[in-house]
Chains A and B, each alone.
Chain A
Amino acid sequence: MEIVYALAIGVLTGSGVWLLLRPRTFQVIMGLSLLSYAVNLFIFGMGRLAVHLPPIIATLDPDPSRFDDPVPQALVLTAIVISFATTALFLVVLLASRGLTGTDHVDGEEEPEP
């Protein structure tokens, strides 16, 4: 499971970074979204991967190995909310930029033809 998980994060990060470096605003926003997915998965992975373990301690069981770490899950939730909000905001700026400059290039102007 770990290798699949790590590969997924790696692929998402790689695509995200590549898209982030592209000159079109839409590609940039897609890159940022992919990167934030990768980071969310990464935070989740930092709580150690486990199957069939509850993150809520329901009994007075003193053995921590029978529970999943709930903290990274709470962190992921916060990170998702924040990246969702900032992506929405970025989308508005993207549209404003498109409206003001008439192009979707990140610099607000097309590169001159070679």
Chain B
Amino acid sequence: MSWLQHLPVLPIVIPLIAGAVMLLFAESRRTTRTFIALGATVANLAVATLLVYMANLGMPEIWPGGIAVYLLGGWEAPFGIVLVADRLSVVMLMLTAVLALASLVYSLARWKRMGPHFQSLFQFLIMGVNGAFLTGDLFNLFVFVEVSLAASYGLLLHGLGAARVKAGLHYIAINLAASLVFLIGVSLIYGASGTLNMADLAVRVPALDDGDRILFEAGAAILGVAFLVKAGAWPLNFWLPAAYGAAAAPVAAAFSILTKVGVYALLRLGSLLSASGAPAPFDNGWLFGIGMVTIALGSAGMLSVQQPQRLAAYCIIVSAGTLLAALGLDGEGMKGAAMFYLVSSVLATGAFFMLSEMIERTQRFGDNAIDVSLESFGLDDPLDPDRPDEVVGIVLPAAMAFLGLSFVSCALLVIGLPPLSGFIGKFMILSAALGAASLETVSTSTWMLWAAILGSGLAGIIALCRMGMRLFWSSDEIITPRLHLTEAAPVAVLLLLSMGLTAGAGPAVNYLLLTEVSLSSPQIYIDAVLGNGLISSTSSATGEAVR
């Protein structure tokens, strides 16, 4: 029995314990809390790295198939709760860990002091997101999504201010309603199929009779609506720009993974249910249409906004739309390409959110976010030794050069221009859409996807050029901001990572294409979870429970 056997549960346990332990320390003991938070996040990254190694068949003696199944409490799969780490899960875990570490380091300079319990809430957010990626059970997916949402409610209000509270109110109301929809979907599926385990569900659904099948389809459709709210798909995404645009910068950066939980859930269930004919929201036609409209409206939004942070929020919408539309098109290599785009766009939007807050400091101070927070916490007293603005790290020289360079890199990533990874992601999607078809046989939807992706890129160029010119070249006085090393480093690291993703695109793409292969043959996942498929849909649930 090696400790590695418990690897799949660590991404949930580590943040849970760290977040809870931090609550025991008084708010004044900031250094202790900071060290716990940093330690937990670094440990989380290490575990995620190990899991990626595992999924790449690195630990054949424990998990020969590269799918780690963890039975909580030792209960057999369809009856107990199960955690499953396969290629898709671990790549999302890795992404979460990287983004979390970057946002946490960024928050150390000033944001963590803007309100109580920032660090704990942040750990609980990571726990919820990790849990959602790992769980193999629909109801647990609901619970983990709720955990991450509950933490996100607190984090969104972090720093207070009227704008944030207003956006938070809308965000909470919509997400509570979406959670109720989620529950209705889950319970309908349970009522029709008698199971909540996703692998077991995939086995049982083809055997449903007609009446139950209709109930199941209705449940799946309702569930899909809840996922689409989380993913930020039109017409369920009007809350997103306001909430993400008002959140504190490190919080917004961490939120860029939250919308991808919805995309992940759609991918996972879509893959598992594909054998028996996927129900409507997981069906390609619907996803494609929704994705196209989301791209169009996201691009229009990008062109209309003035603030950098809101622009970043619209970038998230465009990225969600691109992902949904791409997943809605069949084609070899499409899911792998979409995953590559997902990784690259999460890194880019995360960096963009943090960058936009630093850029706003170059502008004349008006009603910008940090001022409001400073005021509402009485932290703007220049004589106060605890003043958050006080420089604790090294002040970076050439701050403007750094900001300008980072802005250009972010822009290139978001738009999808070479040489950064955004280009490779979009190029792969476009190439997979075209596939091996000759020019005459290319379908209309492929041309529509091409037009939408290239058009959204054009809208991005216009919006970001305009913003860059106004921010950096305007004739107004520009204040050279003081940047701490801890603020600049996370942005730089995220951008360097996406450059690394360009340079090492070969291995990354290979990994993601293997992910796609495993997604298109869900039987491997089902066998791994249910123990070689010995427990079939016909085995008596009651008999098992009595034993």
Instruction: Please list the residues of chain A having a beta carbon within 8 angstroms of any beta carbon in chain B.
Output: 20, 25, 28, 32, 35-36, 39, 42-43, 45-48, 57, 60-64, 67, 71-72, 75, 78-79, 82-83, 85-87, 89-90, 93-94, 96-97, 100-101, 106-108
Q: Is the CB of A42 within 8 A of B542?
A: no
Q: Is the CB of A32 within 8 A of B187?
A: no
List 14 A-B pairs, Cβ < 8 Å. Answer: A32-B173, A32-B180, A43-B187, A45-B191, A61-B546, A64-B542, A83-B180, A85-B150, A86-B150, A86-B176, A93-B172, A97-B166, A107-B166, A108-B162
Q: Which residues of B contact A100 (CB under 8 A)?
A: 160-162, 165
A-B contact count (CB 8 A): 101
Q: Are B172 and A86 neighbours in the complex by a CB distance under 8 Å?
A: yes
For residue A42, which residues in chain B have a CB less than 8 angstroms away from its CB?
Answer: 183-184, 187
Is the Cβ of B177 less than 8 Å from the Cβ of A46?
no
Q: Which B residues are within 8 Å of any A CB, using their own CB?
A: 139, 143, 146, 149-150, 153-154, 157, 160-162, 165-166, 168-170, 172-173, 176-177, 179-180, 183-184, 186-188, 190-191, 196, 541-543, 545-546
Q: Are B165 and A39 in contact (CB under 8 A)?
A: no
Chain B residues with CB under 8 Å of A36's CB are 176, 180
Which residues of B sit under 8 angstroms from A57, Cβ to Cβ? Answer: 542, 545-546
In contact, B169 and A25 (Cβ under 8 angstroms): yes
Whole-angstrom CA separation of A20 from B187 in the bound complex: 22
Name the 10 nearest CB pairs between A and B, nearest first. Answer: A46-B191, A43-B187, A64-B542, A46-B187, A108-B166, A100-B162, A97-B165, A39-B180, A39-B183, A82-B146
Residue of B nearest to A29 (CB): B173
**B196 (CB) vs chain A CBs: closest residue:** A71
Taking a contact as CB atoms under 8 Å apart, the answer to whether A89 and B153 are in contact is yes
C-alpha spacing A106/B149, complex, angstroms: 20
Most buried by B among A46, A94, A97: A46
Contact of B169 among A47, A48, A71, A94 (CB under 8 A): A94
Docked CA distance A24–B170 (Å): 12
Task: Establish whether residues B180 and A93, one from each chain, have CB atoms under 8 Å apart when the complex forms.
Answer: no
Residues of A near B541 (CB, < 8 A) are 64
Residues of A within 8 A of B162 (CB): 100-101, 108
Q: How close is A40's CB to chain B, nearest CB, in angstroms?
A: 8
| CA A62 to CA B177, docked complex, whole Å | 40
Point out which of A20, A86, A87 has the most chain B C-beta atoms below 10 A from its C-beta.
A86
A96 and B160 contact, Cβ closer than 8 Å, known pairs A25-B169, A72-B190, A86-B172? yes
CB of A99, distance to nearest CB on chain B (Å): 9
In whole Å, how far is B167's beta carbon from the nearest beta carbon of chain A? 10
Q: Are A79 and B150 in contact (CB under 8 A)?
A: no
Q: Which residues of chain B are within 8 angstroms of A45 by Cβ–Cβ distance?
A: 191
CA distance A79 to B191 in the complex (A): 16
- A62–B545 CA distance with the chains assembled, in angstroms: 10
Neighbouring A residues of B542 by C-beta, 8 Å: 57, 62-64, 67
CB-CB < 8 A to B191: which residues of A?
45-48
Residues A106 and B170 in contact in the complex (CB < 8 Å), given A75-B139, A78-B143, A100-B165: yes
Contact of A46 among B143, B161, B176, B190 (CB under 8 A): B190
Q: Which residues in B have their C-beta under 8 angstroms from that of A32?
A: 173, 176-177, 180
Cα distance A48–B191 when bound, in Å?
Answer: 8
